[in-house]
């Protein structure tokens, strides 16, 4: 495969960026109330610069009753007092830019909070009013309208409809405190275009679009019907079948209206979709020069621990990128999923695999989204007391995403391990005692630590795959390997005589010989006597060799 000769442009920064997801309430607490805040993010920017990431994606910090961790927004143009003020935001973004870090903010357009003034107005207005038309209010079924208008289920469990005192029902694909907006209403569209401009004017470099596939519902709000196998919830069809409330063709009109807004600002303002579609082909429709720049590739996160599974996902993603003309994204964890250390087997096994997966992901062309704490090798916290769990899905389904949202350990010997200032309150979720050894301070300087592995990998990725500031993502060349092993070369358009990176991952049951791949650069496991000629099971290594491109 040959390298693309397209010149790299600074506004294409996102094409190969490493983006670090900051779950603001769990990252760093500056004011000591036990909840992370924007001043906390600001104070840790040098850590992120030194880690070697290019950008941060901040989860919602807008005014919110926090029913769903801030994904229930009451005011899209203000910072929640828990997280600080607009002045704190401005100070944070100014510092970030000065350090060369870009800022992506989350935008939540599918639904508002029930505390949003629009929803308040809808409740006090009558059925059929203009105020109700900004949401999806309907009469119920049954003799007295006592049954929900259709069979749609909330992603968080239970029916997707809640009845109001005058007898009408409103749609909420998530919690009842998150009413869905009516995106066929021109005021809704105008409002969000203005919200985009508000944050673009404040200097944000991009947006992560929440539930980007959800804003348009099929006309007439038809039942899902009996396409759902008995005993399954509708949400289990996500990513496998088209549901009448997701991935409707008309949703693309919204993004075709947003793109010119982003393009009218200098410096390469981008948008990444959190979207789920039936097939990778349908997901690819969100991406392109007249729509969004990227969509999360959750197939990589969902891949099981086998060479075949990863190979298939990588090949599919690379083929799709070629079609849409934009590099894909790679994600192993986020604030909605069990942390990958635990998914891969937990304990020492899970950590070995997580470290190997990191080297796989960071060697692939395209952009990478890291979730805070993965650089520390944090596992999911599985034993949080139920009464501390805050995920609204917990009460409805028994499943909770709190275990991946435990505040980060930074330093020290006692909880909350430097998450807040000395003398501050306990963190909103407690870290287990084992996290003392996983703190940033505890891992810094230990060459065998996961943190130092990420630091080294990010530095080498930059050096070996981005010569001369190139943002072109380059190509993968699969190399011959033993069964159960993935091996590929990866380079970017570069001057003759440059080197490329070779990544080898052993997902098989036996150690494999890797003496022929080039000069060893990095190994996911602490060096053993046979390193670097043998690669143990559940580990990965990087080599360098002259570019073949």
Residue 33 interaction partner, one of ligand NOJ, Mg ion, none, beta carbon < 5-8 Å per kind: Mg ion
DSSP per residue over 2-21, as a string? PPP-PPP-GGGGGGG-EEEE
Q: Looking only at residues 344 through 373 of this chain, which bind ligand NOJ when binding is defined by CB under 6 A?
A: none
177 binds ligand NOJ (CB under 6 A): no
Q: Looking only at residues 358 through 397 of this chain, which bind Mg ion when binding is defined by CB under 5 A?
A: none
Residue 68 interaction partner, one of Mg ion, ligand NOJ, none, beta carbon < 5-8 Å per kind: ligand NOJ
Token representation of residue 66: 């926090």
Q: Looking only at residues 211 through 230 of this chain, which bind ligand NOJ when binding is defined by CB under 6 A?
A: 211
Residue 253 interaction partner, one of Mg ion, ligand NOJ, none, beta carbon < 5-8 Å per kind: none
**CB-count exposure of residue 316 (10 Å: 0-12, 13-18, 19+):** middle
406 binds ligand NOJ (CB under 6 A): no
Residue 31 interaction partner, one of ligand NOJ, Mg ion, none, beta carbon < 5-8 Å per kind: Mg ion
DSSP per residue over 226-248, as a string? GGSPTT--GGGGTTTS--TTSS-
Number of shown-chain residues binding ligand NOJ (CB under 6 A): 9
> Under DSSP, is residue 542 helix (H, G, I), strand (E, B) or coil?
strand
**Which residues are tagged catalytic?**
210, 274
Q: How many Å apart are CA 33 and CA 513, to the nearest integer?
A: 53
Minimum CB separation from ligand NOJ for residue 336, in Å? 5
The contact mask relative to Mg ion for 405-434 (x = CB under 5 A, - = no) is ------------------------------
Q: What is the DSSP pairing of strand 206-209 with strand 102-107?
A: parallel
Residue 37 interaction partner, one of Mg ion, ligand NOJ, none, beta carbon < 5-8 Å per kind: Mg ion
Residue with tokens 């159960």: 484
Omega before residue 532 within 30° of 0, cis: yes
Kindly tell me which residue out of 114, 151, 205, 210 binds ligand NOJ, with binding defined by CB under 6 A: 210
Q: Looking only at residues 18 through 37 of this chain, which bind Mg ion when binding is defined by CB under 5 A?
A: 29, 31, 33, 35, 37
Minimum CB separation from Mg ion for residue 369, in Å? 25
12 binds ligand NOJ (CB under 6 A): no
User: With contact defined as beta carbons under 8 Å apart, do 504 and 356 qualify?
Assistant: no
Nearest to 539 by CA among 501, 506, 511, 503: 506
Kindly tell me which residue out of 3, 14, 20, 174 binds ligand NOJ, with binding defined by CB under 6 A: 174
Token representation of residue 399: 């499943």
Task: Give the angle subtended at the CA of 274 by the CAs of 268 and 277, to the nearest 5°.
Answer: 120
Minimum CB separation from ligand NOJ for residue 405, in Å? 9
Residue 482 interaction partner, one of ligand NOJ, Mg ion, none, beta carbon < 5-8 Å per kind: none
Q: Looking only at residues 49 through 78 of this chain, which bind ligand NOJ when binding is defined by CB under 6 A?
A: 68, 71
Number of shown-chain residues binding Mg ion (CB under 5 A): 5
Nearest to 362 by CA among 277, 495, 511, 463: 463
Residue 336 interaction partner, one of ligand NOJ, Mg ion, none, beta carbon < 5-8 Å per kind: ligand NOJ
Minimum CB separation from ligand NOJ for residue 370, in Å? 16
Question: What's the distance, Cα to Cα, between the start and end of the chain in Å?
Answer: 7
Q: How many Å apart are CA 1 and CA 433, to the nearest integer?
A: 49
Minimum CB separation from ligand NOJ for residue 373, in Å? 16
Q: How many Å apart are CA 321 and CA 297, to the nearest integer?
A: 11
Q: What is the largest CA-CA distance in the chain?
A: 78
Q: Looking only at residues 90 through 109 of this chain, which bind ligand NOJ when binding is defined by CB under 6 A?
A: 108
Nearest to 182 by CA among 255, 107, 122: 122
246 binds ligand NOJ (CB under 6 A): no
Minimum CB separation from ligand NOJ for residue 108, in Å? 6
C-beta of 80 vs 210, nearer to Mg ion: 80
Strand partners, 206: 104, 270
User: With contact defined as beta carbons under 8 Å apart, do 221 and 136 qualify?
Assistant: yes
Q: Quote the DSSP letter at residue 506.
A: E
Residue number of the CB closest to ligand NOJ reads 71
Q: Which chain residues interact with Mg ion by CB under 5 A? A: 29, 31, 33, 35, 37
Q: Which chain residues interact with ligand NOJ by CB under 6 A? A: 68, 71, 108, 174, 210-211, 274, 335-336
């Amino acid at each position: 495969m040959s390298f693309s000769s397209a010149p790299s442009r600074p506004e294409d920064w996102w094409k190969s960026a490493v983006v670090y997801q900051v779950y603001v309430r769990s990252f760093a607490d500056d004011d000591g109330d036990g909840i992370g805040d924007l001043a906390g993010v600001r104070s840790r920017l040098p850590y992120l610069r030194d880690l070697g990431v290019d950008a941060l994606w901040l989860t919602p910090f807008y005014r919110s009753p926090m029913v769903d961790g801030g994904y229930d927004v009451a005011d899209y143009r203000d910072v929640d007092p828990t997280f600080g003020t607009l002045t704190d935001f401005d100070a944070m973004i100014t510092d970030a830019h000065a350090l060369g870090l870009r800022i992506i903010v989350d935008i939540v357009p599918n639904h508002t909070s029930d505390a949003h003034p629009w929803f308040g107005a809808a409740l006090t207005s009558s059925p059929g009013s203009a105020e109700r038309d900004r949401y999806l209010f309907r009469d119920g079924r049954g003799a007295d309208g006592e049954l929900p208008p259709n069979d749609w289920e909330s992603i968080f469990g239970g029916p997707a409809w809640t009845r109001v005192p005058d007898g009408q029902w409103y749609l909420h694909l998530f919690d009842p405190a998150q009413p869905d907006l009516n995106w066929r209403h021109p005021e809704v569209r105008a409002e969000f275009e203005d919200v985009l401009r508000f944050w673009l004017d404040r200097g944000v470099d991009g947006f992560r679009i929440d539930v980007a596939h959800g804003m348009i519902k099929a006309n007439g709000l038809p039942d899902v019907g009996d396409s759902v196998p008995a005993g399954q919830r509708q949400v289990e069809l996500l990513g496998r079948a088209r549901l009448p409330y997701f991935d409707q063709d008309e949703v693309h009109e919204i993004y075709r209206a947003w793109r010119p807004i982003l393009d009218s600002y200098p410096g390469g303002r981008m948008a990444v979709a959190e979207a789920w579609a039936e097939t990778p082909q349908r997901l690819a429709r969100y991406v392109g020069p007249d729509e969004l720049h990227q969509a999360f590739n959750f197939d990589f996160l969902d891949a099981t621990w086998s060479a075949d599974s990863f190979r298939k996902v990588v090949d599919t993603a690379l083929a799709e990128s070629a079609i849409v003309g934009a590099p894909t994204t790679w994600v192993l964890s986020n604030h909605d999923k069990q942390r990958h250390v635990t998914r891969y087997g937990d304990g020492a096994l899970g950590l070995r695999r997580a470290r190997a997966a990191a080297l796989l992901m960071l060697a692939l062309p395209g952009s990478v989204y890291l979730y805070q704490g993965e650089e520390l090798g944090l596992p999911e916290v599985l034993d949080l007391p139920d009464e501390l769990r805050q995920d609204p899905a917990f009460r409805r389904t028994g499943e909770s995403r709190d275990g991946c949202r435990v505040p980060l350990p930074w330093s020290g010997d006692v909880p909350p391990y430097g998450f807040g200032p000395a003398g501050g309150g306990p963190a909103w979720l407690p870290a287990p005692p084992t996290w003392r050894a996983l703190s940033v301070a505890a891992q810094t300087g230990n060459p065998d630590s996961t943190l130092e592995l990420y630091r080294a990998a990010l530095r080498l990725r930059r050096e070996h795959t981005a010569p001369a500031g190139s943002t072109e993502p380059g190509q993968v060349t699969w190399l011959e390997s033993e069964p159960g092993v993935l091996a590929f070369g990866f380079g970017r358009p570069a001057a003759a005589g440059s080197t490329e990176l070779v990544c080898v991952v052993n997902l098989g049951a036996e150690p494999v010989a890797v003496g022929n791949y080039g000069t060893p650069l990095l190994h996911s496991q602490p060096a053993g006597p046979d390193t670097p000629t043998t690669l143990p099971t559940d580990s990965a290594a990087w080599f360098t060799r002259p570019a073949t491109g």
